[in-house]
Every structure is written in C-alpha cells, then in structure tokens.
Amino acid sequence: MKTLVVIGQGYVGLPMALRAAEEGMSVVGLDTNAKVVDNLNAGVSHIDDISDDELKSGLKAGYLASTDASCIADADVVVVCVPTPLSADGGPDLRPVEAAAGAIGEHLTPGTLCILESTTYPGTTEEVFAPLVCRDQFKVGEDVNIAFSPERIDPGNEKFGVKNTPKVVGGITPECTRLAKEFYSQFIDTVVEAKGAKEAEMAKLLENTFRHVNIALVNEMVRFSDELDIDLWNAIDCAETKPFGFMAFRPGPGVGGHCIPVDPSYLSHRVKAKLGYAFRMVELAEEINDAAPNYVATRVWALLNQGRKSVNGAKVLLVGVTYKPNISDCRESPADPLAARLLAWGADVSYFDPFVPKWHPHGVDVVLESVEELYDTAEGADIVVLLQPHAVIDLSRLGTIATAILDTRGIMSGNSVEAL
C-alpha cells in the first residue's frame, strides 16, 4: 500500500485524494488553511463535487487532512495541486508552487515520486519545481522522480470525474514518466504518456487555448450577426449537422472559471518572455472575451431603450452569477464586470442564484443577496438577463412571466425573449 500526500485540498486535490483512498492508499491531504483541514477531518466538504457523505467515506477508507508538512517524509508519492493565479505581469503566480516545492524539499526522502499538477507554462516543472524539490541534494531520475500531470477536473460534470477522465503524464526522464503512469493507473482508467514534462504542460494549455480562441470567434460573430439580422444560434445548429470538420461553440456573456480566462495567458506570457514576440491569437481572444460582458450590458441598454425605458433606475435581474451552471464557483465570472457596468449606469441590479446566497461583484462596493422569489422578482423587473441556466430554474415559466429577457445562452423561447 502506497502512502500518498496531496498538497492542496481544493477542487483538484480533494477529489484525487479521496479517489486514491478509495483504492486502498493511505492518503494525507495537506493544506495551509487550518479551518479547511479541521472541517475536512470533521467530514464537512467545501467543494461542490464532493458531498459530506463522500468525504466521510474517504475518512473511513484512509484519508486524513493535515497542515503538518512533515508527513512528506513518509510519502511514497507527493502530488501538488495548488492554485496558480495570474500575477500582475500576466504570467502565473508561482509562489504557491514554489512554497509547495520548498516544503517537499525540506522533508524529501530518496525514492519519492513528486508530481506537479498545477497549471503553468511549459518548463516550470524542470526549471522551477525540480530545483526546489531536489535542493542540490538529489538527482532527478535516480534519487527522486519528478513528473507533470495536468489537472482535468471539470467542476459540476456528472459524466466525467477523476476515475474516467484520461490522465496525461510527462516525466523529466523516461523513468519518471513510467513511475507516474504506474501510480495513476492504480485509480484512473486511462493514463496517456507524453514525450516529457514540457509536452504534458503544453497539452493542458493547448486544450484551454483551443476553447478560448473558439469561444472568442463566436463571441465576435454574434455581434455583427445581430447587426446584420442573422440568427447566429440557428447558423451554429445548422453547421453542427456536418459530421466532420466542425465542432460547435456557442456565444455567451464571457468566459470564467479557473482555466479558460487564465491558462492561455501563461502561454502568451511565456512566448513573449522567452522569444520576444506576441502570441497574437491568444491576445486577440482575450480582448474579445474580456469585452463580452460589456457587450451584454450594451444589449441590455438597447432592449430597455426599445421599451422606452432608461437604464438609469431600471430594475435589472441577473439570473445565475457563477461561471458555469449548477456549481457555486464565481471565479472570474463574467457576471462581475456585467454587474459593475450596469451599476455604473445607475441600474437597480438584483440577482438570483441558488448556489450563491451573497455576492460581492468585483469592482463595486456593494454586497448583494440573492432574491428569494425568482419568478415574482422577474415579473416585476424591467429586464431579466439569463447568464447561467441552473437546473433548478424553470426556463419555460421564466419566459412567460418576464417583460423582457436577454438570453445569453440561446436556449429560451418566447415573445419576450431576445437571444444575445
């Protein structure tokens, strides 16, 4: 039985730790947040994808949360799942990764397999992570094995989780890759070997840059399609019938979450820093997607104007303020800049979201509370903006009672509904 330490007990680290415990491993979930650790050991989960009952089962199976990094000394495998937010210069803030690597280096014993899962630019595992882990005391591939494996957690996805989502692994040496694959194969169905760590790092950025660029494409097309009186949503549905050579992406209020708005910037920053020229495709996609919430605000203004109403003082109800449906995560949600723009114009903004009781939109000095009665509030609003179609929302009912609806997802119908 292997002893595993997973550093970082958030939306990536906790599900992995519990999945490994389920397969019989002795697992320590290491985190710097003492309150989170105490709650985890008490069976109280803090992420959407893990219920309290699932956590309690994991505790019985061999999972334990801790703030004590000395547990690394007894580990056969250490996996790092800490956040890498954007820094002020547009690159990844590697301080959490560096802190985790430093803690590993302080307690490391020979023969340990160390895997970085935190998303970052190609070269981080070899240039930043490995030196801090080894501390000039160990040699990679001989004394310690180091690899990168990009996280592929999709919060709220009921079809794909840790077990059945293919795992990419790339080691600094072929032996590192082999051992990483051997480790993950114990509790993940499919493990794919990359040529090396840099290729595994690039694979993650490629996945999310692909989405970022294609979302930007349709977010740009939806603007001029509206002005040309073209139903882009219908055009996309028609194009999707082609059984080859096309993948459907649909417009929206902007991109959000922990990956799409952030990860491509790592690659853009790396290219500019190392090669001296811009990754223009990503920079343009960022410009378009960052402008999407303001376009939504402009459409709200236009629809109110059609009804002979001023946006100043208008009752605007936002429905769903998380970055994706059926979760409570508001990170980088496009609802934030949208609310900020509407409030700056003097709109009376309210919102409904069953997953977010209180909401402090970034950039404004107000804290809002979710309305209790969605449909009563919608009936009295001057305009309703559908941002996230949470499953608990009756869209048909909403479409029949609201005076005006801006549907940013293109999924509603009715005389009062206007698609983005």
For residue range 58-104, what is the model confidence (pLDDT) as tens digits? Answer: 999 999 999 999 999 999 999 999 999 888 777 788 999 999 999 99
Average pLDDT over residues 377-381: 96
Q: What's the CATH fold of domain 3-195?
A: Rossmann fold (3.40.50)
In this model, does residue 186 exceed pLDDT 60? yes
Taking alpha carbons only, the member of 112, 169, 101, 172 closest to residue 143 is 112
Chain centre distance of CA 341? 24
Question: CA-to-CA distance for 159 and 281, rounded, in angstroms?
Answer: 31
In this model, does residue 1 exceed pLDDT 70? no
Residue matched to tokens 């970022």 = 212
Q: Is residue 134 annotated as a catalytic residue, yes or no?
A: no
DSSP-derived secondary structure for 171-217: ESSHHHHHHHHHHHTTT-S-EEE-SSHHHHHHHHHHHHHHHHHHHHH
Q: What sign results for the dihedral spanned by CA atoms 387, 393, 395, 398?
A: negative
Question: CA-to-CA distance for 249 and 272, rounded, in angstroms?
Answer: 28
Average pLDDT over residues 7-33: 95
Catalytic residue among 81, 134, 259, 330: 259
End-to-end CA distance of the chain: 54
Question: CA-to-CA distance for 13 and 117, rounded, in angstroms?
Answer: 9
Residue 170, classed as helix, strand or coil, is strand
Confidence of residue 417 (pLDDT cuts 50, 70, 90): very high
For the whole model, what pTM was predicted? 0.91
Average pLDDT over residues 340-344: 97
In this model, does residue 156 exceed pLDDT 60? yes
3-195 and 233-419 share one fold: yes
- Using a pLDDT cut of 70, give the percent of the chain over it: 100
Confidence of residue 198 (pLDDT cuts 50, 70, 90): very high
What is the chain's mean pLDDT, rounded? 94
**Domain definitions of the chain by residue range:** 3-195, 233-419
Class of residue 276 by CB neighbours under 10 A (exposed 0-12, middle 13-18, buried 19+):
exposed
In this model, does residue 2 exceed pLDDT 80? no
Taking alpha carbons only, the member of 7, 21, 13, 10 closest to residue 186 is 21
Average pLDDT over residues 272-300: 92
For domain 233-419, give its CATH number from 3.40.50.720, 3.30.465.10, 1.10.357.10, 3.90.79.10: 3.40.50.720
Question: CA-to-CA distance for 215 and 248, rounded, in angstroms?
Answer: 10
For residue range 200-228, what is the model confidence (pLDDT) as tens digits? Answer: 999 999 999 999 999 999 999 999 999 99
Indicate the range of 171-175, 334-338, 362-366 predicted with least confidence: 362-366
pLDDT at 169: 98
Taking alpha carbons only, the member of 66, 93, 69, 90 closest to residue 82 is 93
For residue range 126-151, what is the model confidence (pLDDT) as tens digits? Answer: 999 999 999 989 999 999 999 999 99
What are 150's two structure tokens? 């990009």
Residue matched to tokens 């993940």 = 188
